[in-house]
Amino acid sequence: MTPDQNLFAQQETNRRQSVWLVAGFILFFAWLGFGGDWALYLNTAGAGPQGYHHTIPALGILSTLLASGICWFSWRFGAQRVLWATGAWELIEPATPQQKQLVNVVEEMAIASGLPRPRIWIVPDPDPNAFATGITPQTANLAVTEGLLDALDRDELQGVVAHEMAHVSNYDTRLMTLLAAMVGAIALMSDGMSRFLRFGGRIGSGNGGRSGGGGSDRGGKGGGPLVLVVLVLWIISMLLAPVVSRLLAMAVSRKREYLADATGAQFTRNPAALASALEKIEAAAEPTRTITRGAAHLCIVDPAARKISEREGLVADVFASHPPIRQRIIRLRGMAYQQLKRESTASGTLPA
């Protein structure tokens, strides 16, 4: 498969996965809502004539509407919320040589990639890092930290910007922006559902106490074990949702970083510059504190302390939001050597 074919295949995969992500998100919330309705229906089925009978699936309807609203909000405003959470400010008129250089580099990489120039943002953080966000290339945003501008020279900055433009070109930013918004929403809903579960349990036990003897027998025979099974599945789903969504975001990021590195190197024709930039970023001792874990998969490197992402094997594959930086550097160095070898062969000399 040629690089262009690989790029187009990745774009189509990202579009398809974005649709599946939205559908799965809505279905998951529908399960939480209608599953809760079912559990309450079974739990109150044996209540007496004066007891509460849960017959209207209000939880399911509300949770499905809420999930649909979150998806719409994530699509329309997810990128802005990510930028707002980092404290980023938009660079409109560059006031320093570093800012002017950044604007020039972004404009150059927009031309090289054939994409519209994204809006440029500065994140007030001394740790070097960068990320891109947005649903379409026309609405893309590119953010860099103040530490990145201080740490990198022009060629290295060009490599980082090209990497982020590659994410925009591959439609990675659409999928990862949706994930960032939905991971946060699932975490909030998990906490809210745990409180509602305690509230629902009090309703069930109170009605059971008021029901008559025959009604209690019917509830115990027909609904008791089934209520327990539904509640257990509901609780497991609720507890695992934040973990699964976070792992999904990490897996999505890891699979796309290598391709973005390669695509960015094609834009600059200088893979060694991105390798050098990654080495400087790796050497930074402090984490990027302004970027939360929920948006970690958007960044060029893990904004947290990179102890896990520096490792290889099962632990890194499961818990790291990015592939090992050393592996990325090795691949980029290999690309640089192959490029130098081709140029040397064309000129009749061999690389040292």
> What are the catalytic residues?
164
Query: How far is Cα 299 from Cα 308, in angstroms, rounded to an integer?
Result: 16
Please calculate the CA angle 174-178-184 and round it to the nearest 5 degrees: 150
Locate 207 and state its tokens: 């009605």
Distance CA 52, CA 268 (A): 67
